[in-house]
Structure 1
């Protein structure tokens, strides 16, 4: 077992109170590359521990401006982890898992919103080059990737609640066009604060596939995908990253392969696609840890009572206080939104809470006369 060394970039005050945490990371083993799977699982477990400490982790290779290598696990950051040890590691089928333990020192000044789950809506993926699906007849790759992304998100998402993929028209979302009115419309319809859009840019082969009696090597098939996350309330793009991987395409060029089958997902190519989706969702999960929890007023119940689209699923409780924010959009040229937010100086208290909604009441009704549908509540 490789030695783990944790270097903390900031000394802790002796009065800090540590909490003991365990975190489990796992990854799919592709082409018997156990070391690679172990490294990926280790990254996932470390990321979870850093999130517990209040660190902002948008990429495991860059932690608060520090660095992370896995030959000897070395972290330089403001993260507050002590006594990092490996409790257990091993292989379960095609999965490699690592369980880490550490003393975690929470930093109250960072990522206060990490204790609240945000609502994330998965948009139907967009396949840019439809003709590349001919090899293997992968015309249904987009909806299959959509379903697999949704399934993975339900397992790995700790900072978000994944919303069921809506039945939107094919190619409703085209990355780069920034259909902000469409984004706002679908977010309001499904009660989401954040949207994840995926564009599959390339699934081509690196060479012409010529069938042979005996195959000594297979062509490499690419999977290039661009992931974007939008803040649907502020109508801003907060994440944009391109992932480019490849794996052997082990099937005959004339063979029809359904992307919904185990045959596809257990192949080298399918597992590579799966691992890429896991990486995307892991980074999105880390990104949303430090994003504020915001919801909208969806119904006016009286001069000082409203219904909002946040609830128990977002870790809200009866009696909790939220800040009221008035918001307006000014749609400029090319339908680009210009937002305007103003603090009302007032707070509301949660009076009733349900799974996906809550009833709030103003603490000072004299400060909330102009609150309307679409105005915001926030928990920083």
Structure 2
């Protein structure tokens, strides 16, 4: 199984001309049908993205993150702007998985952001399986449950910029067609579920394609004559900020790999046999890329929360140590405002106020703060929004 693993080893090596910082990161990729070159490319791409995330970077595609051309054997990456140099330190193979370790020379003044330390609280829901007809082959109807659990577990273990607070074993009624504009006011569902679970963001996903490229062998003797058919996996993802209503990530992920199981076989999705198969590796590759994209997207997203209690001269907020909140951090009170745009859609804006709060106590999932100007305390109410605007 392929997983993103960021090495928490920051090498403070400065190059004289660039004053960049060298980051060490690892990427891994499954080897399909003996194609080591393709696995090397995917593992190196993942390692570079991991280094960018480790540095607090924002990158939506590898083609946007460096300048010039990096060539290693028959593999090259075209880049543009924030990565000066990449050096491959090691390459090793374990079974059908290739591991690449790199050093990347990054520019912290371009990559780091004010919210780089905060981890945004995230709600995951069970992925919806749209292609239910093809899901019958292999009896993988529950693949939405297993893939969403995979993502939840790996985000909790590996993510630098998100804190998966809840996983709901429920298929949502989210309608993506309502989001025809990234700044449109949030439909009710994301706003309600994030408020009820004290989270900032919610991730919905649909598995749209589980079809085969070619026919499955019908008779047992045919399975010895034909190569396993390729099976597709397509996942559509929507990551929504329930506080601002913004659609922060909308992306389709596709992969395919040989389906090595018998036509009539019921596959155990929780088994090592599935996840170590070619198709299971392809699915975990997709999930690992999604994990990286979530971290990249949230690396500079403002950390926000809600006021849950107001007492005397102090307030309590629903973000805490798990979100990277420390004693001494500063919060700004926000007001949500809506207005009609030229597209006849209603748009939402989060407006900062003059009310500043200072964290005095921080616990696992909550924190206590005091208004820096006590005269403004009367304007603070339960359900008001706050944003992390200053860190120690």
TM-score, normalized by length of structure 2?
A: 0.82
Distance 1:244-1:72 versus aligned 2 partners, 3 A rule: closer
- 1:233 matched to 2:252? The reply is no
Equivalent residue for 1:50? Answer: 52
- 1:79 matched to 2:74? The reply is no
- 1:204 matched to 2:185? The reply is no
Equivalent residue for 1:134? Answer: 136
Match of 2:273 among 244, 254, 263: 263
Q: Which runs of 5+ in 2 are unaligned?
A: 1-13, 180-185
Match of 2:40 among 34, 38, 41: 38
Note the C-alpha offset of 1:183. 1.3
- Mapped contact 2:48–2:104 kept (Cα < 8 A): no
CA–CA distance in 2 between the matches of 1:15 and 1:354?
43
Cα RMSD, aligned residues only: 3.0
Distance 1:227-1:215 versus aligned 2 partners, 3 A rule: farther
TM-score, normalized by length of structure 1?
A: 0.85
Q: What secondary structure, in the 3-state scheme, does the structure 2 residue paired with 1:112 have?
A: coil
Distance 1:41-1:301 versus aligned 2 partners, 3 A rule: farther
Q: Note the alpha carbon deviations across 1:165-190, whole angstroms, 9 max, x for none.
A: 1243x444454456832212221222
Q: Note the alpha carbon deviations across 1:305-341, whole angstroms, 9 max, x for none.
A: 2111111112221111121212356899xxx875353
- Mapped contact 2:20–2:106 kept (Cα < 8 A): yes
- 1:27 matched to 2:29? The reply is yes
- Mapped contact 2:67–2:82 kept (Cα < 8 A): no
Q: Note the alpha carbon deviations across 1:199-234, whole angstroms, 9 max, x for none.
A: 001112233423241232222211111111111111
Distance 1:191-1:222 versus aligned 2 partners, 3 A rule: same
- 1:351 matched to 2:360? The reply is yes
Note the C-alpha offset of 1:89. 2.0
Note the C-alpha offset of 1:358. 0.5
Match of 1:323 among 317, 320, 332: 332
CA–CA distance in 1 between the matches of 2:311 and 2:31?
53
5 Å-filtered alignment, 1:177-216, equals: 180-212=187-219, 213=221, 214-216=224-226
Higher normalized strand content (fraction of residues): 2
Distance 1:329-1:58 versus aligned 2 partners, 3 A rule: same
CA–CA distance in 2 between the matches of 1:154 and 1:276?
17
CA–CA distance in 2 between the matches of 1:52 and 1:101?
12
Distance 1:315-1:19 versus aligned 2 partners, 3 A rule: same
5 Å-filtered alignment, 1:1-380, equals: 17-63=19-65, 71=74, 73-74=76-77, 76-82=79-85, 84-107=86-109, 110-168=112-170, 170-176=171-177, 180-212=187-219, 213=221, 214-302=224-312, 304-327=313-336, 338-380=347-389
Note the C-alpha offset of 1:69. 7.4
Distance 1:205-1:177 versus aligned 2 partners, 3 A rule: farther
Q: What secondary structure, in the 3-state scheme, does the structure 2 residue paired with 1:113 have?
A: coil
Q: Which runs of 5+ in 1 are unaligned?
A: 1-11
- Mapped contact 2:57–2:296 kept (Cα < 8 A): no
CA–CA distance in 2 between the matches of 1:256 and 1:52?
40
